[in-house]
Each structure stands twice: as C-alpha cells, then as structure tokens.
C-alpha cells in the first residue's frame, strides 16, 4: 500500500465581470497542498492578481482542516475579504472541499 504524505487539490469557480483577474484568468482557482490524514491545508494559492490578495488567502487557509467542514472557512472569507471576488472565492472553496472529500474516499 502506498501512503501519500500530501495531496494537491484544486477548486474552481467563475470570476465576476469587472475584476482585473478576469483579463488574465477565466476562472478563480484555489489550489492547496493538504495533509490527507487530518485534512489540514499546508499551503495554498489562488488566482487573485495582487500578491497581497494571494498572501491574504494563503494565510487564511493555511492550517485549516477540511475535516472540520467548509462553513467556518466560508464565514472567515465573508467576514474578512471585502472585494468583488468574494462569491468566486467561496465557490472555489466549496469546489476544493468537494474535490478533497471525493478523492479522499478513494
């Protein structure tokens, strides 16, 4: 049996009109390196344009366990991210969570 130290998961969502990122990317993507036993996000990235925005999301996600459910993380995004990408970030997080739990059952 092969054991995996970490897994790489991606979540996607459509970007809203009027965002700078829409000119470079067709979708919001959140990628994460996850420790599979406890579901902890070790590192993350996203397709926001600014380094500040990317770093903000990285810090928000790092250390969170997807085994605790996605709703607390969504609430953190809603409370702390005040930009046009809020709904896209939430949709991408939900997709990331779905992809993690779907693949983790295998």
CA dihedral 9, 58, 56, 28 (to 10 degrees): -20
pLDDT digits (tens, 9 = 90+) for 43-85: 999 988 889 999 999 999 999 999 999 999 999 999 999 988 8
Q: What angle do CA 29, 33, 39 make, to 5 degrees?
A: 110
Go through the domains of the chain in sequence order and give each one's CATH number. 7-104 (3.90.1010.10)
Residue 63: per-residue pLDDT: 98
pTM score, whole prediction: 0.86
With a CB cutoff of 8 Å and minimum separation 6, the contacts of 41 are 32, 33, 34, 61, 62, 63, 64, 65, 66
CB 30 within 8 A of CB 96: yes
């Amino acid at each position: 049996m092969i054991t995996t130290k970490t897994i790489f998961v991606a979540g996607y969502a459509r970007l809203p009109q009027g965002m700078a990122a829409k000119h470079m990317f067709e979708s919001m993507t959140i990628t994460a390196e996850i420790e599979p036993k406890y579901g902890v996000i070790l590192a993350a990235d996203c397709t926001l344009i600014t380094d500040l925005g990317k770093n903000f999301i990285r810090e928000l996600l790092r250390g969170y366990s997807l085994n605790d459910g996605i709703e607390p993380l969504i609430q953190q995004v809603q409370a702390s991210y005040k930009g046009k990408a809020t709904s896209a970030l939430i949709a991408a997080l939900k997709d990331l969570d779905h992809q993690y739990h779907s693949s983790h059952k295998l």
